[in-house]
Amino acid sequence: MAVIRQGEMLSLVEDAVSFASKRGADEAEAFSYQGLTTNVVIERGQITKSARIIDRGLGVRVAVNKSVGFSYTNILDNKTAINETILKALSYAKASKPDEDWHGFPAKKTLPSVENIYDSSIVELHSDDLVRIASTMLDAAEKTDKRIFPIDGGVGASHLSQAIANSNGIANFDHGTIIECSLATIANEKGSVTPVCFEFNVERNYNIDPDWVGREAARLAVSALKAKKIETRSTEVVFTQFALQQLLYFTLINAVKSDFVQRNQSALKGRIGEKVASETVTIYDDGLLKGGLRTWRFDGEGTPQQRTLIIEKGVLRNFIYDNYTAEKEGKESTGNAARAGYISTPNIEATNFNIIAGNRPPEELVGTIDDGLLVYYLQGAHSSNPASGEFSVVATPAWKIKNGEIAHAIKGAMLAGNIFQTLKSISALANNERKIGQLVAPWVLVENVKVIGK
């Protein structure tokens, strides 16, 4: 299937907006998306498959008398089918109920420039190249230790393009690349199996280190062997970015979304200007972060992305907005309307949720602890109470820290608490910032975490 280019994507959305307006839309917005992905899959120690996935389509949102309808299609080679899709959005808007808070689509604004989100060398990668990267990763893991078994993983390269137009004159195009490699391993010794240990690299530029990923995934699994149970008590815990991401995704990140705040679902409602975290914590939602995984010039409504201060030295400063929730408060959107490709209407999401790193090496954080834990991943974070921030999760894999050193792996330990209490108990941040999903953060040291052991 032929790749569609910038000009075609833009005329697709501009034509859709003009057709919708002619057919009775008070306002119209069209979004087109194209994702071209090549990947290679590792299963149980070997490369077993490779795939080429082409997904593209058009989503049209219209408003008629303050009622909103949306329709999408992935059939783009047929003008009649596209027009039928637009008419369907109109008929759904007419069938829906008016929303007095609807103030229309965003106005046209100057777009910012962003750095390191597109790399043509990723676009040029073929499956043979990805097989080579996967082999490097596998070899590195297997050379590290005989007791490990790489259960799954792979390498993927994507080229994503998006265009948006609306009846206020917005007509934007942007494209970017992503490359990732990952490996999940377990270690096996005398019949005992470790939990799954996972490492990965993901970048917008062709700048990944499959050798490191392989070695690190293997090292983690080996060090997770010989796990012991621990006693119930409150203790110091170092959370890696994996654990932090799982903990924050369902709690803090939701609590700063303006729709959660406006709809009384956020424990942070009414607390702008108050201290909600320890003084060591400063957080930006940075839609323009250089090379950020969610860095784009504009969001899912065509609004410029920006850098928004969320928490400054522990004090809550701002929430994140799309156009609808911003208009409701007479504010400007912070460029946080996200889309899941062409099939969804915009939803408020964090871009790059950046917890500003400290200046101490991670070993030094561990080194200050007499008796505590290093928690790599959590299991069950999605069952946290999203409104109150209460969590009750399993720490696995995790390690006991004794006299400033990693003593041994632990098993079966649960952590329970409230994320907003946890934020106030962060006493130090390391300098090892990395990107995991929406989160860009270092390791953090939290005091006084309730650990439930045997």
> What residues from 207 to 246 belong to the interface with other proteins (CB under 8 A)?
232
Please state, in angstroms and rounded to a whole number, the distance separating the CA atoms of residues 118 and 113. Answer: 12
- Give the DSSP letter of residue 376: -
H/E element holding 29?
Answer: strand 27-43
Please report whether residue 79 would count as binding other proteins according to CB under 8 A: no
Q: State the number of CA atoms in the 13 A half-sphere of 231 facing the CB.
A: 5
Dihedral angle over CA of 249, 255, 257, 261, nearest 10 = 160
Among 107, 111, 315, 343, binds other proteins (CB under 8 A): 343
Q: Which is nearer to other proteins, 284 or 391 (CB)?
A: 391
Q: Which listed range, 38-46, 202-210, 276-284, 305-313, lies at the site for other proteins (CB under 8 A)?
A: 38-46
The token pair at 82 is: 């596209």
Among 11, 14, 18, 92, which residue sits at the site for other proteins (rule: CB under 8 A)?
92
Q: What gap in Å lies between CA 206 and CA 199, rounded to an integer?
A: 18
194 contacts other proteins (rule: CB under 8 A): yes
3-state SS, residue 268 = coil
Tell me the two tokens of residue 229: 């149970």
Residue 61 touches other proteins, criterion: CB under 8 A: yes
Q: Residue 361: how many CB atoms within 10 A of its CB?
A: 13
Query: Among 21, 83, 205, 265, which residue sits at the site for other proteins (rule: CB under 8 A)?
Result: 265
Nearer to other proteins, 77 or 113 (CB): 77
Regarding 163 and contact with other proteins (CB under 8 A), the answer is: no
Considering the complex, state which of residue 130 and residue 436 has its C-beta at the smaller distance from other proteins. 130
Under the binding rule (CB under 8 A), the answer on residue 43 touching other proteins is yes
44 binds other proteins (CB under 8 A): yes
Report, in Å, the least distance between residue 23 CB and other proteins: 16
DSSP-assigned letters across all residues of 109-134: -PPPP--S---HHHHT--HHHHHHHH
Judged by CB under 8 A, which of 53, 272, 406, 407 binds other proteins? 53
> Of 55, 145, 364, 433, which lies in the binding site for other proteins, with binding defined by CB under 8 A?
55
**447 near other proteins, judged by CB under 8 A:** no
| Smallest distance, other proteins to C-beta of residue 332, A | 21
Site for other proteins in 399-418 (CB under 8 A): 411-412, 414-418
Q: Of the candidates 179, 198, 301, which has an alpha carbon nearest to the alpha carbon of residue 243?
A: 198
* Residue 72 binds other proteins, judged by CB under 8 A: yes
**Count of other CB atoms within 10 angstroms of residue 269:** 14
User: In sequence order, what are the beta bridge partners of 56?
Assistant: 34
What per-residue string of b and e applies to 125-135 under the rule 16 or more CB within 10 Å gives b?
bebebbeebbb
CB of 265 to other proteins, least distance (A): 5
Binding mask 382-401 for other proteins (x = CB under 8 A): xxxxxxx-xxxxx-x-----
- Give 9 or 415: the residue with its C-beta nearer to other proteins: 415
Label the pairing between strands 439-441 and 353-355. Answer: parallel
